[in-house]
Structure 1
Amino acid sequence: MKQVTPYNTEAGKKREVEEMFDNIAPKYDLLNHVLSLKIDVLWRNTLVKWMNKDQPQIVLDVATGTGDLAVAVQKGTGAKVVGLDLSQLMLNVGIEKIARLKLNDKISMQKGDAEDLPFENNKFDAVCVAFGVRNFENLEKGLAELRRVVKENKSVFILEFSKVEGILSPFYMFYFKNILPRIGRLISKDSRAYTYLPDSVNAFPFGEKMKNILLATGFKNVEYKKLSFGIATIYKATK
């Protein structure tokens, strides 16, 4: 898999991703909802409904960002949620959001590295990641860490961009590669962040390829659901 980075410097993908999200943190939620026409909210809720069938009590949300999925998981399952992210500025936005929603006793946020999680083995009833695994520096290492901290017979839920296939593909790709980056640059003032998004999606495995990577990581069962004609996909990987 080709390594795509936000700024193409010598700093390494992990450092660049942290810098990128620090840069766009103040406008991240606005951009997410504008660029996806709020469909991202429906995608997260679909993940939460799937997760809720397992009735988790404690959930880890990796690459939590500003905490949208952490909040959705808490409200949808009643579980306690730990949110973890590389970017402190994204976390700061999330911490304010959680305080506004009076969920401080239900959701905790901490800075950390998805590829070196600060938790013991078999700790969580479920682990989730929304639009984060694409940003891992070492995908297999990150997935192995997600598997390590989830309990036996419990699942990791991954929501990630994939590719629209069929008749709508050229129209969506035109939007994704031409219009979306312009809107992103205009609002975020970061010239590269929203060019990195389609570039990274284009280089990332999806569908059966992603399923096979998860199985090779040691998960015993992997299912997935395509969302919105394949714009995004949710994977459920069971340990």
Structure 2
Amino acid sequence: MTKDITKVTPYNSETSKKSQVEDMFDNIAPKYDLLNHALSMKIDVLWRNKLVRMMKTDVPKEVLDVATGTGDLAIAVEKGTQANVVGLDLSQQMLNVGINKIKKLNLDRKISMQKGDAENLPFEDNRFDAVSVAFGVRNFENLQKGLAELRRVVKENKSVYILEFSKVEGFLGPFYMFYFKNILPAIGRLVSKDNRAYTYLPDSVNAFPFGEKMKQILSDTGFRKVEYTKLSFGIATIYKATK
């Protein structure tokens, strides 16, 4: 039986999922970019670029990137759309890495980074032309509340773009899950020195409601149109939810 995504936590401690997620990303921040690109063989870059191409058709002027981490998607959005981007994340250590990256690219006038909670966004209603989240909604303590907040701050008739892991189906499924559950966590532990962070990743992906289930959740949240695109045999999926 699939676990409730809200019950899957990084450290299985008594503290809230939100607090554990913040601690986890603070712990792995220095090695995050290295591990992320190495373990995905940079396929994640192609996925982000696909999301940006989809968003570009909306011609956004101001974009919110939630769970921005070290800013990879925020940077891709700015480069692909020329929009001003606000990046928001729970983890200050991840943001610090992103701030340095953005300064080196001379994008600090176009991209601002701030600490904040996706489930209590510090922005007014109908503020942004687009909202994006890459690999972050799995980590929400309350998925519906977080999605409702994304919907609240995006303008009417504009869209929220969510890039998230899903599950490989068909004959490749078992091979991918072996890599995901055994090889990836072993490399993650070795490099990041965090014993749980890269075990939490496959656990949270297994519990996440992908595809039609996620589409239904987004519809139930109040989005009037939801569509999704599978990427790389279903390893990841982009959801476009229009307010």
Structure 2 residue aligned with 1:62, among 52, 62, 66? 66
The match for 1:125 is: 129
The match for 2:204 is: 200
Q: Is residue 182 from structure 1 mapped to residue 186 from structure 2 by the alignment?
A: yes
Q: TM-score, normalised by structure 1?
A: 1.00
Structure 1 residue aligned with 2:108, among 104, 111, 124? 104
Q: Is residue 4 from structure 1 mapped to residue 18 from structure 2 by the alignment?
A: no
Structure 1 residue aligned with 2:157, among 146, 153, 171? 153
What is the CA deviation profile of residues 173-216 of structure 1, one whole-angstrom value per residue up to 9, with x for unaligned ones? 00000000000001100000000000000000000000000000
| Mapped partners of 1:118, 1:134: distance in 2 | 21
Amino acid at match of 1:184: G
Structural RMSD (CA): 0.4
Structure 1 ranges of 4+ moved more than 2 A = none
Structure 1 residue aligned with 2:29, among 22, 25, 34? 25
| Mapped partners of 2:112, 2:182: distance in 1 | 37
Amino acid at match of 1:125: D
The match for 2:223 is: 219
The match for 2:20 is: 16
Structure 2 residue aligned with 1:77, among 59, 81, 98? 81
SS of the aligned residue for 2:155 comes to strand
Q: Is residue 52 from structure 1 mapped to residue 56 from structure 2 by the alignment?
A: yes
| Mapped partners of 1:149, 1:208: distance in 2 | 24
CA positional deviation for 1:130: 0.1
Structure 1 residue aligned with 2:44, among 18, 40, 43? 40
The match for 1:164 is: 168
Q: Is residue 90 from structure 1 mapped to residue 94 from structure 2 by the alignment?
A: yes
Amino acid at match of 2:108: N
SS of the aligned residue for 1:180 comes to helix
The match for 2:120 is: 116
The match for 2:232 is: 228
| Mapped partners of 2:8, 2:39: distance in 1 | 21
What is the CA deviation profile of residues 123-170 of structure 1, one whole-angstrom value per residue up to 9, with x for unaligned ones? 000000000000000000000000000000000000000000001000
| Mapped partners of 1:130, 1:20: distance in 2 | 17
The match for 1:173 is: 177
- Equivalent pairs: percent with the same residue? 80
| Mapped partners of 1:8, 1:20: distance in 2 | 12
- How many aligned positions are there? 239
Structure 1 unaligned blocks of 5 or more:
none
| Mapped partners of 1:68, 1:104: distance in 2 | 14
What is the CA deviation profile of residues 22-71 of structure 1, one whole-angstrom value per residue up to 9, with x for unaligned ones? 00000000000010000000000000000001000000000000000000
| Mapped partners of 2:177, 2:15: distance in 1 | 29
